Structure 1
Amino acid sequence: MRSSITIIFYAALLFVATSCGQNQQAAQQAPPPALVTVTKAVKKSVTGTDEYPSTVVPLNEVEIRPQISGYITNIYVKDGQQVKRGQKLYEIDRSKYAASLQQTKALVQSAEANLARIEKDYERYKRLDEEDAIAKQTLDAAHTEVLNAQAQLTSAKAQMESASTDYSYSVLTAPFDGTVGISQVRLGAQVSPGQPLLNTLSSNDPMAVNFVINEKEIPRFNKLLRAENNPDSLFRIKFSDGSIYPINGTFTTIDRAVGRQSGTINLRVNFPNPDAELIAGMTVNLMVLNQDIGEQVVIPYKSVSEQMGEYFVYIVGAEETVTQKVVELGTVFGNQVVVRSGLQGGETIVVEGIQKLREGAKITTGGAPQQ
């Protein structure tokens, strides 16, 4: 009996010793609390914008090319000059075309005189025919001569019209108000129909800004295009040096179709350009107001992590443990970002030391929370 009690006693001691060893081992294996820096999700008054790379383009632009052959005899504008509609730009040697026009005018006059004479003869023959004083064959021949004379006059007028057109093409004028570029030819240059390019004329005011959006954004911009009451500052321009164009734009156009390969669509905003600050071909950023307007939850951007296309932050909870929280991000302001959903404001979140964390991990903070 005594030996049985002794065995039970030693077994109990062995069990206790084993349990203590396991507990000590587990305690040694548990990671220490991660040292992190935290901050508060706060609410701030913001005005959020989205930026789109854009290109400034003129509403009207045309290449000035010759339509007749000859030599450049006059250049009426300077490089980069602003011109008015109908103003002379270039002149091609007119002497040949002036002579051709005079010749065709003379042909028309001759054809008109010939037709008038034949018509008089025809009228006289008709009166004689009424008195049976001439043969029918003579009257028919006179009628045929009238028709031939009319055809000759029509042909002469067509030649005169063609010569007049060529003569008018010898002086190239501006089809609209705008600015010419640097002339591509000099006095004495020989030109032919379509060649070479003489200059390019672009309209100045207003100017258009073209940009591209993903097809997912089309519903948003459709609403903006149809809305009657939009903020005055909905569309602004930011230049490459960071300065802001002082005049707001007007949203005018969504292209007819989405690109099959790109999945994008072109849009256009018009801007007044009274001081010619916008120049065709400029690359700018178009700033468009978004939904992040007024009181919004704002956090440091570096507190956000991404996994599988989702964004999340670590929220500090009870007993200094952290919980992952999925958030929807909005506008980025410097080193801060708007949180559109997922946070209410006031939560304590981890800013630094995120890479050491996992769901439910213990933390310890280093220093005062960041603001």
Structure 2
Amino acid sequence: MFLNKMKYYPAAVLFALLTSCGDKNQQQQPTQPPAVPVTLTAVKSAQAAYYEEYPGTVVALNEIELRPQVSGFITGIHFKDGARVRKGQLLYSIDAQLYNANYDQAVANLNVQEANLARAQKDADRYHELEKNDAVAKQLVDNADAALEVAKRQAEAAKANIKGVQTSVRYTKVVAPFDGVIGISAVKVGAAITAGQTVLNTVSTDNQLAVDFNVDQKEIYRFSTLMKKAKSSDSTFTLKFGTDIYPEAGKIALLDRAVDPQTGTIKARLVFPNKENRLRAGMSGTVRVLNNAAGNSIVIPYKAVTEQLGEFFVYVAGDSSKVSQRRVVLGNAIGSDIIVKEGLKEGEKIAVEGVQNLREGVTVAEGK
């Protein structure tokens, strides 16, 4: 009986070992994850015409701050705020009493100096006549000539002083420097003003307004070419405020003298007609530059793109129904699509739906 037990025990142990090994093999066998449902689309090329956008600022083509050139008090304001003014139109009057008095004094001084000059001239002539007959000493003749020269210089100084005082009198009238629109007056009647410091108002032109924006220095050649080819009726340059498009097309007027070394950009200026006075200096908008030079470009739905740490990727389906993540370089957006500059070829299939569930090497199944 003892022998029978000894034979039975190894058989039971063997059975247990075989059973545990079978369970372990079943546990270690990996299970295949189900395929992720996605929507795939073939990469295609298309004619890509799009607008490049730049932030821009509306500025006046001609604008000047009015500052007085003499000090005093404002005695008259001869316009309505915001009115259109013409070149030479009287805008402000400054108290001219002091300057008129100075002018009268300068005229009186000139009269005195001219009288002195006439007397010195007569003395010099008389001494020269006496000198011809050796009836006067040479020293007296020289003194008379010197006095005459001094009188001439004093008369000239008096005339120059009159010109200066006349200028001050003229500056008591502030006039419009050119045709344009004047703003809201910064001073009232009776206000004290200081020459060269007090800002009275601002006058600017408004029949045409400029829009300044910055472009990368790499674009200088392209914008120089556009500047040569642009026509007033061309729609290459348009202006947008929010979702509203300004109805008039612009024309590129100039590129700035030099590139800003800190930003690597150069300022460009467009000119827009402003017949209906919709534009105001200081407005901020978006400059739209039509770019139709891209030709056939790879264009894909923007929703197929994922972003990681500032880089962009798409999931490309392979022959084994597995997707691989591929880095792409993006261009400009065209509606709901976007141009791909690098990373994809025509005919490749990419995932456009279910992208959020994908990762490298996942098997996908195209949904119906």
State TM-score, norm by structure 1: 0.83
What SS does the aligned partner of 1:101 have?
A: helix
Which of 149, 152, 157 is matched with 1:150 structurally? 152
Which residue does 2:107 correspond to in 1?
105
Q: Any unmatched runs of 5+ in structure 1? A: 1-10
Which residue does 1:221 correspond to in 2?
220
Let me know the Cα RMSD of the aligned residues.
2.9
- CA displacement at 1:344 relative to structure 2: 3.9
Tell me the alpha carbon deviations over residues 44-89 of structure 1, each in whole angstroms, 9 at most, x when there is no partner. Answer: 4442222111111123322212222322222121111122222221
Asked if residue 197 in structure 1 is aligned to residue 196 in structure 2, the reply is no
C-alpha distance in structure 2 between counterparts of 1:52 and 1:99, whole Å:
58
- CA displacement at 1:259 relative to structure 2: 5.0
Tell me the alpha carbon deviations over residues 225-283 of structure 1, each in whole angstroms, 9 at most, x when there is no partner. Answer: 256335833322112342234122214123534253xx253513131334133211000
Matches within 5 A, 1:51-130: 51-130=53-132
Matches within 5 A, 1:349-360: 349-360=350-361
C-alpha distance in structure 1 between counterparts of 2:56 and 2:101, whole Å:
52
What SS does the aligned partner of 1:319 have?
A: coil
Which residue does 1:325 correspond to in 2?
326
Tell me the alpha carbon deviations over residues 122-160 of structure 1, each in whole angstroms, 9 at most, x when there is no partner. Answer: 133223223322111211111121122122112212221
What SS does the aligned partner of 1:187 have?
A: coil
C-alpha distance in structure 2 between counterparts of 1:35 and 1:363, whole Å:
6
Structure 2 contact 48–292 (Cα < 8 Å) conserved: no
Q: Could you tell me which amino acid in structure 1 is paired with residue 314 of structure 2?
A: V
Change (3 A) 1:140 1:318: same
Q: Could you tell me which amino acid in structure 2 is paired with residue 225 of structure 1?
A: S
Which residue does 2:362 correspond to in 1?
361
C-alpha distance in structure 1 between counterparts of 2:164 and 2:294, whole Å:
64
Tell me the alpha carbon deviations over residues 29-54 of structure 1, each in whole angstroms, 9 at most, x when there is no partner. Answer: x3221122223334444422221111
C-alpha distance in structure 2 between counterparts of 1:292 and 1:337, whole Å:
16
Change (3 A) 1:54 1:206: same
- CA displacement at 1:350 relative to structure 2: 0.5
Q: Could you tell me which amino acid in structure 2 is paired with residue 331 of structure 1?
A: N
Change (3 A) 1:335 1:226: closer
Q: Could you tell me which amino acid in structure 2 is paired with residue 168 of structure 1?
A: R
- CA displacement at 1:295 relative to structure 2: 3.9
Which residue does 2:208 correspond to in 1?
206
Tell me the alpha carbon deviations over residues 187-244 of structure 1, each in whole angstroms, 9 at most, x when there is no partner. Answer: 222323245321111222432222234xxx2021244225633583332211234223
Structure 1 contact 73–187 (Cα < 8 Å) conserved: yes
Which residue does 1:258 correspond to in 2?
260
Which of 8, 24, 49 is matched with 1:47 structurally? 49
Q: Any unmatched runs of 5+ in structure 2? A: 1-13
Change (3 A) 1:46 1:291: closer
C-alpha distance in structure 2 between counterparts of 1:110 and 1:222, whole Å:
69
C-alpha distance in structure 2 between counterparts of 1:44 and 1:358, whole Å:
29
Which residue does 1:339 correspond to in 2?
340
What SS does the aligned partner of 2:245 have?
A: coil
Change (3 A) 1:61 1:241: same
Q: Could you tell me which amino acid in structure 1 is paired with residue 324 of structure 2?
A: T
Q: Could you tell me which amino acid in structure 2 is paired with residue 110 of structure 1?
A: V
Asked if residue 299 in structure 1 is aligned to residue 277 in structure 2, the reply is no
Which residue does 1:3 correspond to in 2?
none
What SS does the aligned partner of 1:125 have?
A: helix
How many residues in Structure 1 have an aligned counterpart in Structure 2? Answer: 348
C-alpha distance in structure 1 between counterparts of 2:131 and 2:359, whole Å:
118
Structure 1 contact 298–338 (Cα < 8 Å) conserved: yes
Change (3 A) 1:26 1:161: farther
C-alpha distance in structure 2 between counterparts of 1:20 and 1:246, whole Å:
80
Change (3 A) 1:361 1:19: farther
What SS does the aligned partner of 1:272 have?
A: strand
C-alpha distance in structure 2 between counterparts of 1:44 and 1:226, whole Å:
25
